[in-house]
Each structure stands twice: as structure tokens, then as C-alpha cells.
């Protein structure tokens, strides 16, 4: 079975353990066929925009802008060293903010040619009083500012829709599609939220993007992959391509529960997984 992990972090983001090389060595140990290094892109560029990024501890969420070239050159060097042992991919997980594309593009445009793919994510919501990261435990009290958890989901999916339909935001894969459930916060009006999920998936389909099956959720309070079985079924009906990501923040988490996930997506009907190289998508068969 070919195992490819497209979502991994490392110590450059200040909240993951281990160097890039530690992850590569562990991926080889675990017999993965491919590891995508996809650390968080810096948030620093937002300081020149109207987004008050200082309201969240953004330095703890990503490397700084002046480390980006070191990150890219390190992966290039490691790709040569390990080329006979594992396929290495270079990527970024980029957080989306509405109307900030021009600021982001100033930083990332001239580096796009070096990347194999880009994960597009939403972690930070506007909140009622200030910005907060929906997946950062320290901001759980912000949830009280909303009348209902459903409103967090709606804000999250509206932001995903903005990301997916943005003509200037260049990316390939939608990450952790139902992230607000992380702390066991399920939607209350399930139909209301599912309608928004379907609208979002229709945007994904129109742009022909890939959605990640992220096993990080299985290690969190919700104990479930992102997205849920029900959402993956909808994705299959819409013929939306998928790939696997562990969202490893420790080398031991690489390829986490991938065999289980392959069984799950096969049961739904999927027979292939997306594969990326230099921003081009091809497919590998699930045996």
C-alpha cells in the first residue's frame, strides 16, 4: 500500500517538536512513500494590512518571514540527501484572510514555483470583540461571545467559501474541513450547518480542488478525522478528490491511522488518492 502524508509541521512553527530532518527520518522508519513538509506560512505580513493579527499570539503559530528562504532551501537540501529513500514534497499551510490576498501575494508569489502544493486553511475567526484561533484552547472562552456554536460554524464556512472562491488566493488543497468540532463542539442545528457544508463543497467542486482527510482530529477531544464520515460521503457524491494528512506536530504522529482511513474512504467508494508534484495533481490507486 502506498502511503503519502501531505500535512506535517516541524519546530520552525514554534509549536511542533522536531527538525524537518527528524520528520523525514521517522517517515522512512514508518515506511511512508512520501512526506510533504507543509509548515505554517508566517502571519507577519498581515501587520501591514487592516487585520489586527497582534490579537492572537501569531509568533507561536508560524515561522517568521525572514525564515521562509531557509525553510525552502533546507527542504531542497534534504530532498537531495534522502532522494533514494523517500519522496519529499515542499509546501506551506497558508491561513486565509479575506481581502488580504495582495499582502500575501507580495510575500509568496515569487516562491510559488518552489512549492509542490499549498494547503489552504482557516484557523482564525473574527469573533465579536477580537480575533481568535478556533483551534487554540486558550481561546475557548471566546465561544461564549456567540449565541450558539452554530454561528461559529457558519462564520467558519463563510470564510472557507471566501477562500475557495477567491481569484487571487492560489492554493491546491482544503485542510481540516470541519475544524471547529476539535474540542467536541458539535453543531446543534445539524441541518443548518450541513447546508453550509454542501454549499462549501460545491465551491470546492467548481474550482476542482482537493480536500484533505486529516487524521489530527482522531488525536483530539473529538476523536474523529476531519471531515466527518457524513461529509466525506457528500464529497464522494460530488466526485471531489482527496488525500491524507496527519497534521503531525511530533514525528511519532506521521501517517497516523492512515490504514484505518484508507479502509474508511474505500468503504465510501473512493478508489484513488490525489498526488502532488510541482503544483500538478495526479492520482494513485488505492489497492
Summarize as ranges the residues that interact with Zn ion (CB under 5 A). Answer: 9, 121
Comparison of 74 and 121: residue with beta carbon closer to Zn ion = 121
Q: Are 169 and 96 in contact (CB under 8 A)?
A: yes
Comparison of 183 and 283: residue with beta carbon closer to Zn ion = 183
Q: Which single residue brings its beta carbon nearest to Zn ion?
A: 121
Comparison of 121 and 215: residue with beta carbon closer to Zn ion = 121
- How many CB atoms within 10 Å of residue 152? 21
Helix-strand-coil percent breakdown of the chain, rounded to 5? 45, 20, 35
Length, in residues, of the chain: 287
CB of residue 4 to Zn ion, shortest distance in Å: 18
Comparison of 137 and 144: residue with beta carbon closer to Zn ion = 137
Q: Which residue has the cell 509549536?
A: 15
Comparison of 100 and 121: residue with beta carbon closer to Zn ion = 121
Q: Angle formed by the axes of helices 190-207 and 149-165, to 10°?
A: 10
Q: Are 23 and 10 in contact (CB under 8 A)?
A: yes
CB of residue 175 to Zn ion, shortest distance in Å: 5
Of 198, 232, 200, residue with least CA distance to 215: 232
CB of residue 83 to Zn ion, shortest distance in Å: 27
CB of residue 215 to Zn ion, shortest distance in Å: 13
Comparison of 121 and 200: residue with beta carbon closer to Zn ion = 121
Which cell goes with 64? Answer: 517568521
CB of residue 29 to Zn ion, shortest distance in Å: 22
Q: Which residue has the cell 506560512?
A: 41
CB of residue 247 to Zn ion, shortest distance in Å: 6
Comparison of 58 and 276: residue with beta carbon closer to Zn ion = 58
Radius of gyration (C-alpha) of the chain in whole angstroms: 18
Backbone angles phi, psi at 153, to 5 degrees: -60, -45
Q: How far apart are CA 139 and CA 80, in angstroms?
A: 41
Q: Are 11 and 251 in contact (CB under 8 A)?
A: no
CB of residue 121 to Zn ion, shortest distance in Å: 4
Amino acid at each position: 500500500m502506498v502511503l503519502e502524508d501531505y500535512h506535517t509541521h516541524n519546530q520552525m512553527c514554534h509549536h511542533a517538536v522536531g527538525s524537518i530532518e527528524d520528520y523525514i527520518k521517522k517517515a522512512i522508519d514508518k515506511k511512508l512513500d512520501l512526506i510533504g513538509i507543509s509548515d505554517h506560512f508566517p502571519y507577519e505580513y498581515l501587520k501591514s494590512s487592516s487585520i489586527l493579527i497582534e490579537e492572537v499570539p501569531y509568533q507561536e503559530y508560524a515561522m517568521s518571514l525572514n525564515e521562509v528562504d531557509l525553510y525552502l532551501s533546507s527542504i531542497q537540501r534534504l530532498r537531495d540527501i534522502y532522494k533514494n529513500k523517500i519522496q519529499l514534497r515542499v509546501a506551506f499551510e497558508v491561513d486565509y484572510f479575506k481581502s488580504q490576498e495582495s499582502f500575501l501575494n507580495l510575500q509568496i508569489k515569487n516562491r510559488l514555483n518552489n512549492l509542490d502544493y499549498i494547503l489552504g486553511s482557516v484557523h482564525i475567526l473574527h469573533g465579536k470583540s477580537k480575533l481568535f484561533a478556533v483551534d487554540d484552547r486558550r481561546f475557548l472562552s471566546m465561544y461564549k461571545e456567540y449565541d450558539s456554536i452554530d454561528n461559529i460554524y457558519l462564520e467558519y464556512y463563510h470564510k472557507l467559501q471566501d477562500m475557495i472562491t477567491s481569484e487571487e488566493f492560489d492554493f491546491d488543497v482544503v485542510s481540516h474541513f470541519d475544524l471547529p468540532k476539535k474540542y467536541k463542539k458539535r453543531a446543534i442545528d445539524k441541518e443548518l450547518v450541513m447546508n453550509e457544508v454542501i454549499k462549501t463543497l460545491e465551491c470546492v467542486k467548481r474550482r476542482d480542488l482537493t480536500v484533505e482527510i486529516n487524521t489530527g482530529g482522531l488525536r483530539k477531544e473529538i476523536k474523529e478525522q476531519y471531515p466527518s464520515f457524513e461529509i466525506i460521503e457528500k464529497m464522494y457524491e460530488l466526485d471531489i478528490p482527496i488525500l491524507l494528512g496527519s497534521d503531525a506536530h511530533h514525528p511519532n504522529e506521521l501517517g497516523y491511522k492512515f490504514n484505518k482511513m484508507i479502509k474508511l474512504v474505500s468503504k465510501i467508494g473512493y478508489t484513488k488518492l490525489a498526488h502532488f508534484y510541482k503544483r500538478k495533481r495526479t492520482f494513485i490507486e488505492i489497492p
